[in-house]
Amino acid sequence: MLQPYTSMLCAAVLVAPLKSGLATAQTPSGFEQQLFSEVSADEMRKLLELLNTLDRNSGSPGEFEANAYIKQQLESYGVPATSHTFDSYLSWPVAGALEVGGEAIEALTVAFGATGTVEGELVFVGRPGLVFESLDPGIYDGKQVRGKIVVADGMLTPQHALLAEQQGALGLIHINDGELLHEMIATTIWGTPTLRSRDRIPGIHMLSIKKSDGERLKAMRGPLAGKISTTVETQWRPIELVVAEVRGTRNPEKFTLVSGHIDGWHKGVTDNGTANATMLEMARVFQKHRDRLDRSIRFAWWPGHSTGRYSGSQWYADEHWEELYYHGIANMNIDGNGIRGSDIEQVYSGGWPVLQIFGRNAVSDVTGKSVADGGLRGEGNIYRPFRAGDSSFQGIGMPAIFGGVPGLPAEHPDRRPYVGGSGGGWWWHGPQDTIDKVDMDVLVRDTQIKMAMLARLSNAPVIPYRFTGLVTDFRSAVESIHTEAGAHLDLRPCLERLRRLRSVVRQVDSVLRSLALPPRDSRIDDGILRLSRVLHAALYTELGPYEQDVAGPLPVLPSLDPARKLATMDPASDEYGFLRAHLVRERNRILHALDEALERADALRQLF
């Protein structure tokens, strides 16, 4: 299971500083210092002041007004921009009510909950898990919930909503850990549903209630009956996606994608107005110096994040698949930066293994500070990208990178460990997420650090990936599954290919580290991307490069991970036979991907 960590959304947690493996420390280049000097708090404040007046449910007038301002500003900066309008399957929670024992209890319904009224006995099941964690599998042991209403502790999660519905529950009530009711979304479908995923559209009635009201319910004696009433508007709505690009000069078709969602709950100033302001300011400053960029920097303000479960970024991944696959270097998705109460003296970096060394060195160089690791490493110290935060490009294999000033320290009085954004601030997904929660000095510093990372990605002689860590993670994941599966599934052919692949990519990495300036050979960039794509899709996705995996926690190497169950099953059972047949096919898919990776790694090596 992944360690609880939300830096992909809010950069809120610091772990041990990374000091090993750093290149010789440098200072910001003259170009980077010029970029830093031109970042303007006044410019960013203009957008924040507007967003502080707008409710921005995706598809709402407020979202369109925010986009209109961004387009107007981009035009004034001379940044080419495109507006895409398309229909998206969105869910707006309108009203929720709970009645227990004749008493009305304040409640909030959720996006993608069912509409209507249900009544039933309340069944308390305990705490299923945090927002971005895997479920506790034992919460329903010994409990019969079919035809009843489940009551659980903690914020409502899509994975628990799915489980409760599968158990036959009529309704689901979650008791928040505080007195603020947080807006939530309850579908495990990533983006717009398809024929393959539509059966997971929730059909259960759901509510969140305050902690104090939940404690009163628990204290009531005897069997309790409750009535849930909900109104949720789930329908196709037109939404707008604004995309802008600062074109590079030497290799403009290659680009880093900088993104953040424009929609938000209520005013959503820290989720995600501060990121929107950072992006607009970066576009302004980079456009002035576009002649000093080799590769391009593309900006996308995603709609459909909060009420479409990342439908804007999913649409873009589908409709622009080819250029993302062949030309996208990295995705820097920004969410919840510039938080009041953040320690401006602290810095972090993170990202997929191919970019971790680059990101760490860049942040260390420009700040002169020890860099905290923003990685997401679980069992076996293996990296697992987050399935959240508009990371719609995992199947494509475009790696994420992030860095800057982290969110609230763990000991800060405004921090709540159970929220999933706004730097950990208690106001996340609530009407209190307003402009007073922003620290402009922190926002400027965070923006400067991100700009340095982007400038270095743009101007690196070759795309700065390193493959050894990725292949090491891949081998560790296969070894772990192989150990648990034992004789039930032979993964030794995978391990042998990974041994050979690691030898080749070590040679590739060694050459990439020592390349003299300036090779700038487009064939090398293309070869680097081709190798990364096949490895990332195999290691991190279950459905591959053309589909979206479930919106929820997934293990590393999800296609083979179920092999861990084989040793606990009856080999004579149908379930065992069906699972093993599936896993043999998945093993063949992974073997083919590793063979492709070997061919691509060898072809890349031959370019040097």
pLDDT of residue 283: 98
What would the mean pLDDT of 276-301 be, rounded to a whole number? 98
pLDDT of residue 260: 98
**Three-state SS string across 291-308, please?**
HHCCEEEEEEEECCCCCC
pLDDT of residue 432: 97
pLDDT of residue 7: 35
pLDDT of residue 139: 87
pLDDT of residue 516: 58
For 604, half-sphere exposure in the C-beta direction (CA atoms, 13 angstrom radius) is: 31
The mean pLDDT value of the chain amounts to 92
pLDDT of residue 20: 32
Residue 92 is which amino acid? W
For 157, half-sphere exposure in the C-beta direction (CA atoms, 13 angstrom radius) is: 23
pLDDT higher than 60, residue 198: yes
Is the backbone of residue 53 left (phi > 0), alpha (psi -120 to 50) or beta?
alpha
Contacts of 430 (CB under 8 A, 6+ apart): 180, 181, 182, 183, 265, 266
Q: In whole angstroms, what separates CA 209 from the centre of its chain? A: 26
pLDDT higher than 80, residue 94: yes
What would the mean pLDDT of 574-591 be, rounded to a whole number? 98
CA distances (Å), 474 to each of 303, 497, 502, in order? Answer: 34, 11, 10
pLDDT of residue 26: 56
What would the mean pLDDT of 598-607 be, rounded to a whole number? 94
pLDDT of residue 515: 72
pLDDT of residue 406: 96
pLDDT of residue 172: 98
pLDDT higher than 70, residue 251: yes
pLDDT of residue 402: 95
pLDDT higher than 90, residue 286: yes
pLDDT digits 0-9 by tens, 210-231: 999 999 999 997 899 999 999 9
pLDDT of residue 12: 35
Give CA torsion, residues 434, 437, 441, 442, to 10 deg.
-110
pLDDT of residue 19: 35
pLDDT digits 0-9 by tens, 418-455: 898 999 999 999 999 999 999 999 999 999 999 999 99
pLDDT of residue 130: 72
Lowest mean pLDDT among 95-99, 100-104, 107-111: 100-104
Going by the DSSP 8-state scheme, the letter that residue 409 receives in this structure is -
**Following DSSP, what letter does each residue of 130-156 receive, concatenated?**
-TTS---TTTTTT---TTSEEEEESS-
pLDDT digits 0-9 by tens, 128-181: 977 667 777 788 999 999 999 999 999 999 999 999 999 999 999 999 999 999
**Following DSSP, what letter does each residue of 516-558 receive, concatenated?**
PS----HHHHHHHHHHHHHHHHHHH-SS-TTS---SS---SST
pLDDT digits 0-9 by tens, 540-554: 999 999 999 999 889
pLDDT of residue 5: 31
Unique residue bearing structure tokens 């449910």:
57
What would the mean pLDDT of 196-221 be, rounded to a whole number? 95
Going by the DSSP 8-state scheme, the letter that residue 462 receives in this structure is S
pLDDT higher than 80, residue 27: no
Contact by Cβ (8 Å): 333, 350: no
Task: With residue 254 as reference, give the H or E element that holds it.
Answer: strand 251-261
- Reference 462, options 503, 530, 513, 535; nearest CA is 513
- Encoding tokens for residue 129? 């898990």
- Reference 433, options 56, 6, 95; nearest CA is 56
Task: With residue 229 as reference, give the H or E element that holds it.
Answer: strand 225-246
- Reference 380, options 465, 467, 474; nearest CA is 474
Unique residue bearing structure tokens 């650090």:
449
Going by the DSSP 8-state scheme, the letter that residue 565 receives in this structure is G
**Following DSSP, what letter does each residue of 72-108 receive, concatenated?**
HHHHHHT--EEEEEEEEEEEEEEEEEEEETTEEEE-B
Query: Residue 16's pLDDT band (boundaries 50, 70, 90)?
Result: very low
pLDDT higher than 50, residue 15: no
- Encoding tokens for residue 305? 């994040």
pTM of the model: 0.94
pLDDT higher than 80, residue 10: no
Residue count (the chain) = 608
pLDDT of residue 138: 83
Lowest mean pLDDT among 18-22, 267-271, 352-356, 562-566: 18-22
pLDDT of residue 2: 29
